[in-house]
Structure formats: C-alpha cells, structure tokens
Amino acid sequence: MNRLFHFPLSPFSRKVRLTLAEKRIEVELVEERYWEPNQDFLRRNPAGKVPVLRLNNRFLSESQAICEYLEETVPNPPLFPRSPDERFEVRRLCAWFDDKFHHEVTSKLLYERVNKKIMGLGYPDSKNVKSGAQKIKYHLDYMGWLLDQRRWLAGDVMTLADFAAAAHLSCLDYISDVDWNRAANVRDWYAKIKSRPSFRSLLADQVPGFPPPRHYADLDF
C-alpha cells in the first residue's frame, strides 16, 4: 500500500494530498509528528520534514519534487499546462506560496498559534502574529489582482499553483486567519477549489486541542 507520511496542518503535505487525490492515486495517510526524534522517519527522509510519500516501495520527499514526479508519471488529469510560458507561471506561483507566503504568513500565524503549542515551544510571539496578520492582506490583494486577469491563479486552467495556494490558505482558514471578505474573486476562487472532491479529506481534518471553526468545512462559507 502506498503511504503518505504527513501532518494535517502542513501546507506542503496538503499540496501533495490534493495532487494525489486529483490524480486518483490512493494512499494511506500516516500522521507523522515530524518534530519528535524518530530514527525510522529520518531514514525515510534525512531532511526530517513532511510530507514523505512511499510509492511502490520508494520514499519521496520535497513536496514540489513529488508533485512534479506525479505529474510526469500520472499525467491525467494534468495539473500543469502545456506551454513552457504557462508552466513557468505555475512554478513561479508555487514558489511564491511555498517560499514567500510561507515565510511571511504561514510561519507567522499557523506556526505561532498551533505548531508552537503542539511542539511544546511555548506561547505565540505577538510580534510575529501581528506581522503575519498584516502581510496576509497584501497576499490576498495580490491574488485578487491575478484573479482579475485570469480564471485561475496561473492562467485560464486550474493548476498546481491553485493547490499550492489553497493548501496554505486552508491551513490558515482552520484557525480563522483568512478574511474572505477582503476580495470577492478570491473567495469565489476558494469556493471552487473547496468544493472539489479532492478537498474533502482536508475538510475532515481535526487537530486535537484546535477544533476548526464551523465555516472551515462549510462549502457555502
């Protein structure tokens, strides 16, 4: 059986879960407390991060490399467009969310409010939380600007860039840190993504000690 070692509120795990579900690749989900010393896990991934995908007895790590691999080996349905120019834009936006958004927003809100507590690292640093709450506005505006010109984030078709963005935003929505009233087109975009069958498993996630708000799993939020 294929397995994904993941953590429910890891945006990188969520990106891979969405990709697997879109491509209808069945995996068993195994929750991994990756911050606790675990020699077995480090053997599977010396980087010590989630997600790790066990696929046909091979261990794959690094979420973007995994998604590119799945796209090359299971091309349908495609999550990348055909032309190099459009593919560039998908990869640029994946990096935008997984690097810039992650650094400026996800790590400042989710990691301060949730991960720190779970990992026993103490209380949220209010300076970080404030900074994340400020920066997410700019990112939502940027998404709104993109969606003024395009149906989906990277162009006129849905791509991995949409899943990368939705992976981060859904984790933040779990802790009510997304103001969906800021931009109507971003809300509409999220409603479309959220109603996909591939999203169901994410909406069912529960992290002990952090119950999600009611709107989190509501398709009509």
Determine, following the binding rule CB under 8 A, whether residue 87 of this chain makes contact with its own copies. Answer: yes
Q: Which is nearer to its own copies, 99 or 179 (CB)?
A: 99
Q: Is 210 in the site for its own copies (CB under 8 A)?
A: no
Of positions 35, 142, 210, 216, contacts its own copies by CB under 8 A: 142
88 binds its own copies (CB under 8 A): yes
* C-beta of 66 vs 178, nearer to its own copies: 66
Residue 73 lies near its own copies (rule: CB under 8 A): yes
Helix (H, G, I), strand (E, B) or coil at 53: strand
| Binding residue count for its own copies, defined by CB under 8 A | 25
| Structure token digits, residue 115 | 């991960």
Q: Are 133 and 109 in contact (CB under 8 A)?
A: yes
Q: Among the residues of the chain, which ranges form H helices?
A: 11-22, 39-44, 63-73, 84-95, 107-110, 116-118, 126-149, 160-174, 184-194, 200-203
Q: Does 91 bind its own copies (CB under 8 A)?
A: yes
Cis peptide before 124, with omega less than 30 degrees from 0? no
Work out how close the CB of 217 gets to its own copies at its nearest, in angstroms, rounded to a whole number.
Answer: 31
Closest CA to 165 of 64, 91, 221, 93: 93
- Locate 123 and state its tokens: 């209380």
In the complex, the residues that contact its own copies under the rule CB under 8 A are 46-47, 58, 60-62, 64-66, 68-69, 72-73, 84-85, 87-88, 91-92, 94-96, 99-100, 142
